[in-house]
Amino acid sequence: MADAVPLVGRAPQVAALRRAVAAPPVVVRLEGEAGVGKTRLLGELSTPGRVVLAAVCQPFREPFPLAPLVDAVLSAPIPLGGNALLGALAPLLPELADRLPPALPSLGDPRMDRHRLYRALREVLAGVTPAVLVLDDLHWADEQTVEFLRFLTGHLPERLALVVAYRPNEIDAGVRAALGPGTTVRLEPLTGAQTAAMAHALLGRGRPSTSAREALHRRTGGVPFAIEELVRDAAERGGSPWAELAGERVPENFREAIEQRLARVAPEVRELIGAAAVFGAPVGGAELCRIAGMAGVTGTARAASTAAAAGAAEQARAIGAAGTAEQARAAEAAGAAEGAGAAGAEVLAAAVRSELLRESGGRYRCRHELAEQAIRLTLGAGQRQVLHRRIASMLTEGPEPLPHNRIAHHLRSCGDLAGWREHAELAADRAVEVGDPGTAVSGLRALLADPGQSAGDGERLALKLGRVAVDGLDGTVTIAVLREVVTGVALSPAVCGELRYALGLLLLNQAGEPAAGYRELARAARELRVDRPELAARVMSSLSNIHAGHQHLDVHLGWLAEAERLAEAHTDPVHHLAFAVNRVTTLLTCGRPEAWRLAPELLADPVDPVLGRHHMRGCLNIVDAAAWLGHYGQADRYLSHGRELAGKFSAPYTEEQLAVAEVLLAWLRGDWTGLLPRAADLAAKYADLPRIAVECRLIEGALAAAAGEQERALRLLREMGSAAPPVVATAGALVAEELLRRGSVAAAVAGIEAALAVLRRTGMWVWASEITPVAVDVLCAAGRIGEARELLAEHGRGIDGLDCPASAAALALGTAVLRHRQSEVDGALAGYRVAAELFGALPRPYWLARTWLLAGECAGPDGLARVRAAGVAFAGLGATRWVRQCEKVSRAGGGTGRKRGRPGYGDRLSPRELETAELAALGRTNRQIAAALELSVRTVEQHVAHALRKLDLASRRELSRVFGERGGAPRRPTP
């Protein structure tokens, strides 16, 4: 914490002050309210070659005459000549008796004695020129000091600058007149940015958040003294000082300063200021007088307050054209006070002059929030309660709509809890009506925390709170609120189940916590089954969502069957439609053909926005499911209808979700132009919505991998967190393929096994369109041919009887790859032809090009046309990595395959090369390997040489490192 108070935002005033005192003789007035930094600014006057004589006027009840002048003369060594006139100062300055001429006898007339004294003081000041005489807090100057200033300014020494500082609202007109003409420098409170800069300079560390900056400026009003005290107090308590600035704590030094200022005003003024502090908002003069309990404030006076304020404003404008800003403000305040009646006008004007109260447009409030808080602390508890009661009573008599939130605050503060409960709930209802869910939730949470609430009221409030939170708050805040309610409030099963249903959906759809969301939904279904069967059916249909909780398909279908049994209870059209959406979503997601017979119901054009919201949700779900299945035309159809509904019912959030679904659809069907930056932008935009963000990162990562940006791709694809199952599985397959390309076979196998585990755990082989071809390749590279064969069989069983063309095409491609890796050239080429037909029908241009490339490699020189076609297709997609692969295969003459019988393996190890390399990595000699594999030593030498070349290794010793990473092991016993 800095020791010296930093001077922030005052460069123009410092420059103006220095310019003025540099051109004596001159009178300089420095004006500003209490605490605004006048004294700190005066400290900048010290300059070489100029003597500064400084003193402060004190607020003594019986001030010592000319005390500031005495202090000023004694503040610096000054030369004293032999002029006998200076003897007049001897009684005033006994400290300088040895340097002054003998004291002079009285002239017999006090007026003449004073005049001689003033001449002597002027003589001293003239003798120390060039000099600056500084008198701070001139509003507290005694009468004789003011009289001397009137004399001095009329006979100002040629090389003397007189600088006085004062509070303009507290200085008498006579004192102003005594100063005569001169230069005025005014200090205003700091701006928000300057307030933050001063706080940072005081602390010397950290940068405040926007909310901390706003809180500091709101509480202090930009007054430097208040800023200093608040920041120092926060820093001394430890921890993060910025976090302390928005609270109610008032620094002790600041509170004492406010008490001292209050002590200097009349009791009735003090009471009025206290009433304003308790009211805590701008209030009319008549109303403020009524709150303070001032006698003589009549109804007629209250009615006149508005007219008086208007007249005051007009008068202030007239004065402002010719007088000072302070005079204009004072006129406006005085005129506004007239509306409070004669009894209150003078008190209001005095309160404004004290600068503890501000007036604007005929309404009054404390100078700033910190002053308001400090003033409240000066009041006794009983006094505060009386004021709160009066305020609540006055507010309830006002016009509709009543300020229920403020009424509730004042009723609670005066101990009327029943009244507080009534108005707090009305305030929450009003906040919902005007679209302010945050205020509604705050009020309802406070009511629920009240131990005096009845059980029935608690349930009603809890349900209201849950509905408000779901409809209007940020997802993270809503989840916290709902968890708080379902765990901390005694609720009936039906009410708890409804709130838990909302909590489960948020955990599933926004928070990226599918397991937790699934548990909450399952509990909600049990709680609602008896008393709310129609809602229980909706919950169960949500549990049937295949994306929920990473459960097996059979579990979700079981929930759907149970929901259908309860669906007979659906008499409400909204409940019926919500259930229908969930049923279609479940059936379509798992590829059931009958889903397409149910889906057209969602293409209706509803009028009711509640029904419209469910239609939009259904369209969004169908787009997602159809995209993964490979029904791109249907996805387009429902995407278009969903957008029409979102525009019709003003649903921007749904429009944004549809935009993400469109990106997924574009990626899967090969509309890749401009898609990579678009996916990246969406991933950044929805960083706070994990389930949406990870889907965008999957697409960005897949496109980056195809474009040859492997490091970027791996970084993105490894950040899936708790994404939806198809996203997790697909990302795992993409990572595994990249690891295989780098030669890390063991890591690739581990990655593909994790991806396959998702499919096996969920039973959702319809999601395997990006996974199975890669999985077969990885398993074959690891020599696990049997596992690859079983995988294909499992995939076939998993989609039997289902309508999932993308997954069926992937199965055909995986089957062809297995035959290719087993050197079954004819069977492989036939399989590639089938896969190409299926991918072309979807269409799926990326996988079609991959199929052409594999077929070209398998066919050898006869496959060059396919390889070239694949290269053209990849170039159109922007898949740079695969374009390079096509060029490499073409240069090699169509791959390493041969016309007669044996396929080529390109830069991959053949099964024999892999077996040989694994044994060599274990330290076996060529002869030992030949015996184990029943090969000639010469053939083993060739296999080892090929393996070293393909893996870009220099020696056999490096094989142990590579196969150690891969985890390879011989599949036959070694001799």
Model confidence pLDDT, tens digit, residues 475-487: 677 788 888 888 8
User: String of b and e for 45-59 (b: at least 16 CB within 10 Å)?
Assistant: beeeebbbbbbbbee
Distance CA 672, CA 700 (A): 11
Q: How confident is the model at residue 302 (pLDDT cuts 50, 70, 90)?
A: very low
The pLDDT, as a whole number, for residue 135 is 95
Distance CA 274, CA 692 (A): 53
Mean pLDDT of the region 129-144? 91
Residue 738 located in a structural domain: yes
Same domain, 786 and 920: no
Q: How confident is the model at residue 204 (pLDDT cuts 50, 70, 90)?
A: confident
Same domain, 646 and 708: no
Q: How confident is the model at residue 812 (pLDDT cuts 50, 70, 90)?
A: very high
What's the pLDDT tens digit per position in 680-702? Answer: 999 988 887 777 889 999 999 99
In the chain, the amino acid numbered 10 is: R
Same domain, 656 and 700: no
What's the pLDDT tens digit per position in 429-440? Answer: 888 888 787 888
The pLDDT, as a whole number, for residue 127 is 85
Mean pLDDT of the region 650-671? 90
Same domain, 80 and 175: yes
The pLDDT, as a whole number, for residue 118 is 92
Residue 721 located in a structural domain: yes
**Strand (E) positions, 283-362?**
283-284, 357-360
Residue 743 located in a structural domain: yes
The pLDDT, as a whole number, for residue 921 is 82
Please count the CA atoms within 13 angstroms of the CA of 495 that sit on its side-chain side.
19
The pLDDT, as a whole number, for residue 474 is 63
Q: What secondary structure letter does DSSP report for 104?
A: P
The pLDDT, as a whole number, for residue 242 is 66
What's the pLDDT tens digit per position in 781-790? Answer: 999 999 999 9
CB atoms within 10 A of CB 608: 13
Which residue blocks in 248-304 are alpha helix, DSSP H?
252-263, 267-279, 285-292, 299-303
Tell me which range, 95-109, 500-514, 746-760, 895-909, is most confidently predicted by mean pLDDT: 746-760
Same domain, 615 and 734: no
Residue 932 sits in a domain whose CATH number is 1.10.10.10
In the chain, the amino acid numbered 473 is: L
Distance CA 329, CA 168 (A): 11
Do 348 and 288 meet the contact criterion of CB atoms below 8 Å apart? yes
Quickly tell me which residue has 């009661």 as its tokens: 389
DSSP-derived 3-state class of residue 81: coil
Mean pLDDT of the region 802-816? 98
Q: How confident is the model at residue 471 (pLDDT cuts 50, 70, 90)?
A: low
Distance CA 618, CA 597 (A): 14
Mean pLDDT of the region 245-266? 85
Same domain, 728 and 646: no
In the chain, the amino acid numbered 764 is: M
Task: Average the pLDDT over each of 199-208, 461-470, 795-804 and give the range with the smallest value.
Answer: 199-208
- Residues whose CB is less than 8 angstroms from the CB of residue 69 and which lie 6 or more positions away in sequence, other chains included: 55, 121, 145, 148
The pLDDT, as a whole number, for residue 341 is 61
Residue numbers of the domain that contains 618: 575-669
What's the pLDDT tens digit per position in 765-780? Answer: 999 999 999 999 999 9
Burial class (CB in 10 A: 0-12, 13-18, 19+), 75: middle
Residue 608 sits in a domain whose CATH number is 1.25.40
Do 230 and 222 meet the contact criterion of CB atoms below 8 Å apart? no
Residue 676 located in a structural domain: no
Do 223 and 33 meet the contact criterion of CB atoms below 8 Å apart? yes
The better pLDDT of the pair 216, 637 is held by 637
Residue 707 φ then ψ, to 5°: -85, 0
Do 340 and 318 meet the contact criterion of CB atoms below 8 Å apart? no
Same domain, 827 and 928: no
Task: Average the pLDDT over each of 355-359, 539-543, 717-721, 740-744 and give the range with the smallest value.
Answer: 717-721
Domain C-terminal end among 156, 188, 220: 188
Q: Which two tokens stand for residue 128?
A: 């120390």
Same domain, 831 and 791: yes
The pLDDT, as a whole number, for residue 303 is 38
Nearest by Cα to 741 from 919, 921, 952:
952
Q: Which two tokens stand for residue 762?
A: 């969920």
Residue 173 located in a structural domain: yes
What's the pLDDT tens digit per position in 839-894? Answer: 999 999 999 999 999 999 999 888 898 999 999 999 999 999 999 999 999 988 75
The better pLDDT of the pair 548, 320 is held by 548
DSSP-derived 3-state class of residue 56: strand
Distance CA 769, CA 343 (A): 86
The pLDDT, as a whole number, for residue 317 is 41
User: String of b and e for 712-743 (b: at least 16 CB within 10 Å)?
Assistant: bbbebbeebebbbbbbbbbbbbbbbbbbbeeb
In the chain, the amino acid numbered 664 is: L
Cis geometry, peptide bond prior to residue 843 (ω within 30 degrees of 0): yes
Q: What secondary structure letter does DSSP report for 184?
A: E
Distances 898 to 238, 646, 854, 901, 905 between C-alpha atoms, Å: 78, 57, 14, 7, 10
Tell me which range, 79-93, 465-479, 606-620, is most confidently predicted by mean pLDDT: 606-620
The pLDDT, as a whole number, for residue 29 is 95
User: String of b and e for 298-335 (b: at least 16 CB within 10 Å)?
Assistant: eeebbebbeebbebbbeebeebeeeeeebbbbbbbbbb
Residue 535 located in a structural domain: no
Task: Average the pLDDT over each of 63-72, 101-110, 599-608, 648-657 and give the range with the smallest value.
Answer: 648-657
The per-residue pLDDT of the chain, averaged, comes to 85
Q: How confident is the model at residue 570 (pLDDT cuts 50, 70, 90)?
A: low
Domain C-terminal end among 893, 925, 953: 893
User: String of b and e for 15-38 (b: at least 16 CB within 10 Å)?
Assistant: ebbeebbeebbbbbbbbbbbbbbb
State if pTM tops 0.85: no
Q: What's CA 788's distance to the chain center, in Å?
A: 48
Residue 922 located in a structural domain: yes
Do 520 and 539 meet the contact criterion of CB atoms below 8 Å apart? no
Distances 916 to 351, 951, 952, 956, 966 between C-alpha atoms, Å: 98, 13, 16, 11, 15
Percent share of the chain, pLDDT over 70 = 89
Mean pLDDT of the region 555-576? 84
Tell me which range, 189-198, 239-248, 793-802, is most confidently predicted by mean pLDDT: 793-802
Q: Does 749 have pLDDT greater than 90?
A: yes
Residue 885 sits in a domain whose CATH number is 1.25.40.10
Q: How confident is the model at residue 898 (pLDDT cuts 50, 70, 90)?
A: very low
Q: How confident is the model at residue 333 (pLDDT cuts 50, 70, 90)?
A: very low
In the chain, the amino acid numbered 398 is: G
Number of domains in the chain: 4
**Strand (E) positions, 694-846?**
none
The pLDDT, as a whole number, for residue 329 is 45
Same domain, 706 and 611: no
Distance CA 788, CA 281 (A): 75
Same domain, 694 and 824: yes
Q: Which two tokens stand for residue 660?
A: 């993400």
Residue 554 located in a structural domain: no
Mean pLDDT of the region 155-169? 92
Same domain, 588 and 658: yes
Q: How confident is the model at residue 746 (pLDDT cuts 50, 70, 90)?
A: very high
Domain C-terminal end among 639, 669, 699: 669
Q: Does 316 have pLDDT greater than 90?
A: no
What's the pLDDT tens digit per position in 517-553? Answer: 899 999 999 999 989 888 898 899 889 888 776 789 9
If phi > 0 it is left, if psi is from -120 to 50 it is alpha, else beta; for residue 9 that is left
Same domain, 65 and 142: yes
Distance CA 838, CA 827 (A): 17
Q: Which two tokens stand for residue 497?
A: 């189940």
